[in-house]
Chain A
Amino acid sequence: MGRYLLHRLALAIPTLLVVSIVVFVLQKLLPGDAATLMTADADLSADDLTRIRAALGLDKSWPVQYLVWMWGVVQGDFGTSLNTKLPVLEVILDKLPVTFQLASMAIVISVGIGVPLGVIAALKRGSAVDYGVNAAGLSGLSIPPFWFGIMLILAFSVELNWFPASGYVSPAEDFWASLHTMILPAIVLASENIAILMRHTRSAMLGVLKQDYVRTARAKGLFERVVVVRHALRNALIPVITLGAIEFGRLLGGAVLTEQVFTIPGFGKLLVDGVFTRDYPIVQGVVLVAACCYIALNFLADAAYASVNPRIRAR
């Protein structure tokens, strides 16, 4: 298993390298460079700009600039925000827990709803229940999350006044108020994931139910409930849980729209605000951190999968 994980880890390095190159190239394709962006308000002569460029290292070639930038990133220096002049990493780490809480709540909701629905659909295969669950799943994939959020606000905040329409309360401050404000956004963020987990659970269950050991369990005369839960579900859940971990990484990035609709001061809103205030170091930092989270969670999922799968564990 050690060798398998080392191999996985080695694959993550070129992946991160590609991400960093994509981020760097995006920055270089921008109209104007850091010097013109930083001094947009000041009235400077061409000479001053040249000096600022030299001071920032912008007069060097692209590969050299990339290496200098990467060297900083590796040491945790993601640059400074053009607007607040704060270090980018500090700003991101400040916002990340908010999105982390949102994504955690969303993953609990999506596993809690998606997995049971997928199991039921698989057990009642071909029935009206199966078709209903499938149609609901496809709808979940088809609803734009921002619109779903607007509709939930309309129903549960404006009409019924059950939940607040926007804002954020830190769980450290007031735990229940925090859950209460986050529940609608978490449902919105979970909507697509419920469908994804449901579809995967269904097909994993269908695959497992065909296996010999399930037939053996039935032949032994075990109760159907025991067969389904202890023999089938436990095996079917392995790939689903792996997927859940990967999805969690995706949720951190996917929170952009949800946070925008519910005005939650998280990681995703930081990206959108960064785009509109032309604060490109922030945009780069968010993209880089989102990709790192995804890669890290992918690796953890691989490790979890390997530790429960004896065929890989033996390697």
Chain B
Amino acid sequence: MTDAAIQTAAQALPRAPGVFARLLRHPGAVAGGGIALFFVLIAIFAPIIAPYDPMAVDWMAIRGGPSAAHWFGSDEIGRDVLSRVIWGSRASLLAGLVSIGIAMAIGVPLGLAAGYLGGWVDAVLMRVVDGMLAIPLLVLAIAMAATLGPSLTNAMIAIGLSVCPIFVRLARAQTLSAMAEEYVEAARAMGYSHLRIALRHVLPNTVPALLVQATLGIATAIITESSLSFLGLGQQPPSPSWGSSLNAAKNFIVQAPWMSLWPGLAICLAVFGFNLLGDGLRDTLDPRDKD
């Protein structure tokens, strides 16, 4: 056969539906992905979408209710709530992505090493993971954020380090299951180096489970960041963030309930989206969890 003929033959073969195609047929994943994408777009285009400068103080509109000029109302110093919710998506999404990025950058290599090397490396790492997981996530994040000092960057570091043990444990479990596969044994028989086997043969096998956990982790990180900001340990005012807006709003529940309503709904929807997407990814990528 000529090359051209082989190509035509290959194209004629019915291809198994790819992961992406299966994902598109999962209603939860599509809805969740849509919501997540919606917030990503809002965060990127915040300067264009937001009707007002989120920091602009308007003394004539202090705690004004929802109106044609301010759809979501205005806050205690007359700033537009809608604009602050739109800009606040940046802090939340950034915190979600960066803290999970930190957690994975540290957790995955450690988990891979623990699973691949075994022995005392594994024993020591697992005891450290057990110890860190024994401290409730928010308590650990609060203690770390308090130590590092209140700021969005430090909150992201604190959340990343607190979530990290989950990724160590998961990467280790996935590595162990990959090591039992025949292709890893084959790679060993071929005499490849340990580093090559670990990175080229074992690591790819851990990706689906890690992707699911990362998506669900972003949801957790967004809630945790807003909790820290609510307590005053995250994004510092006057910079807009959903959690710190709620911190100010809780003092005006009676006079200006809209100040509390919208940032909270934004958190719920964003977290719901990532949770839905994560559940959908799990159904599509991880056949073990199916009944």
Given the complex, which residues of B lie within 8 Å of A175, measured CB to CB? none
CB–CB B219/A142 < 8 A = yes
Given the complex, which residues of A lie within 8 Å of B227, measured CB to CB? 144-146, 257
**How far does the alpha carbon of A252 sit from the alpha carbon of B147 in the complex, in Å?**
22
A188 at the binding interface (Cβ < 8 Å) = no
Q: Report which of A143, A257, A276, A287 forms a contact with B230, defined as CB distance below 8 A.
A: A257
Q: Report which of A27, A138, A294 forms a contact with B275, defined as CB distance below 8 A.
A: A138
Q: CB-nearest residue of chain B relative to A289? A: B139
B249 at the binding interface (Cβ < 8 Å) = yes
CB–CB B291/A206 < 8 A = yes
**How far does the alpha carbon of A257 sit from the alpha carbon of B141 in the complex, in Å?**
13
Q: Report which of A22, A27, A147, A284 forms a contact with B131, defined as CB distance below 8 A.
A: A22
* Closest beta carbon of chain B to A274's beta carbon, Å: 8
Task: Choose, from A10-18, A42-50, A63-71, the stretch at the interface.
Answer: A10-18
* Closest beta carbon of chain B to A45's beta carbon, Å: 27
Q: Report which of A19, A153, A158, A261 forms a contact with B134, defined as CB distance below 8 A.
A: A19
Given the complex, which residues of A lie within 8 Å of B250, measured CB to CB? 150, 261
Q: Report which of B149, B231, B271 forms a contact with A260, defined as CB distance below 8 A.
A: B231
CB–CB A15/B134 < 8 A = yes
A30 at the binding interface (Cβ < 8 Å) = yes
* Closest beta carbon of chain B to A153's beta carbon, Å: 6
Given the complex, which residues of B lie within 8 Å of A271, measured CB to CB? 139, 142-143
* Closest beta carbon of chain A to B73's beta carbon, Å: 14
**How far does the alpha carbon of A135 sit from the alpha carbon of B275 in the complex, in Å?**
11
B69 at the binding interface (Cβ < 8 Å) = no
A151 at the binding interface (Cβ < 8 Å) = yes
CB–CB B142/A26 < 8 A = no
B152 at the binding interface (Cβ < 8 Å) = no
Q: Report which of A26, A151, A206, A250 forms a contact with B136, defined as CB distance below 8 A.
A: A250
Given the complex, which residues of B lie within 8 Å of A14, measured CB to CB? 127, 130-131
CB–CB B233/A275 < 8 A = yes
A141 at the binding interface (Cβ < 8 Å) = yes
B257 at the binding interface (Cβ < 8 Å) = yes
* Closest beta carbon of chain A to B163's beta carbon, Å: 14
- Contact flag A139-B272 (CB < 8 Å), given A11-B130, A275-B142: yes
* Closest beta carbon of chain B to A242's beta carbon, Å: 16
A290 at the binding interface (Cβ < 8 Å) = yes
Given the complex, which residues of B lie within 8 Å of A145, measured CB to CB? 227
**How far does the alpha carbon of A284 sit from the alpha carbon of B263 in the complex, in Å?**
32
**How far does the alpha carbon of A287 sit from the alpha carbon of B127 in the complex, in Å?**
18
* Closest beta carbon of chain B to A205's beta carbon, Å: 11
CB–CB A254/B131 < 8 A = no
A272 at the binding interface (Cβ < 8 Å) = yes
* Closest beta carbon of chain A to B149's beta carbon, Å: 8
B226 at the binding interface (Cβ < 8 Å) = yes
- Contact flag A144-B267 (CB < 8 Å), given A15-B130, A22-B131, A275-B233: yes
CB–CB A253/B139 < 8 A = yes
- Contact flag A144-B136 (CB < 8 Å), given A26-B144, A158-B254, A206-B291: no
- Residue-wise interface mask of A (278-293) relative to B, using a CB-CB cutoff of 8 A (1 in contact, 0 not): 0000011011001100
Given the complex, which residues of B lie within 8 Å of A250, measured CB to CB? 136
Given the complex, which residues of A lie within 8 Å of B207, measured CB to CB? none
Most chain A CB within 10 A, of B130, B243, B260, B276, is at: B130
CB–CB A139/B132 < 8 A = no
Q: Report which of B134, B147, B233, B275 forms a contact with A29, defined as CB distance below 8 A.
A: B147
Given the complex, which residues of A lie within 8 Å of B254, measured CB to CB? 158
A154 at the binding interface (Cβ < 8 Å) = yes
- Contact flag A154-B223 (CB < 8 Å), given A29-B147, A291-B135: no
B56 at the binding interface (Cβ < 8 Å) = no
**How far does the alpha carbon of A173 sit from the alpha carbon of B121 in the complex, in Å?**
54
Given the complex, which residues of B lie within 8 Å of A291, measured CB to CB? 131, 134-135
Q: CB-nearest residue of chain B relative to A21? A: B131
Most chain A CB within 10 A, of B127, B136, B243, B254, is at: B136
Known: A19-B134, A141-B219. 8 other contacts (CB 8 A): A14-B130, A22-B131, A26-B143, A30-B147, A142-B268, A253-B138, A286-B139, A287-B143
Which are the 8 A-B pairs with shortest beta-carbon distances? A18-B131, A253-B136, A147-B264, A142-B272, A142-B271, A14-B127, A275-B146, A253-B139
- Please list 11 pairs of residues, one from A and one from B, whose beta carbons are closer than 8 Å in the complex, sorted by A's number: A17-B127, A18-B130, A18-B131, A22-B135, A23-B143, A139-B272, A143-B268, A158-B254, A252-B136, A276-B232, A294-B135
Binding site for B on A (CB under 8 A): 11, 14-19, 21-23, 26-27, 29-31, 138-139, 141-147, 150-151, 153-154, 158, 203, 206-207, 210, 250, 252-254, 256-257, 260-261, 271-272, 275-276, 283-284, 286-287, 290-291, 294-295, 298
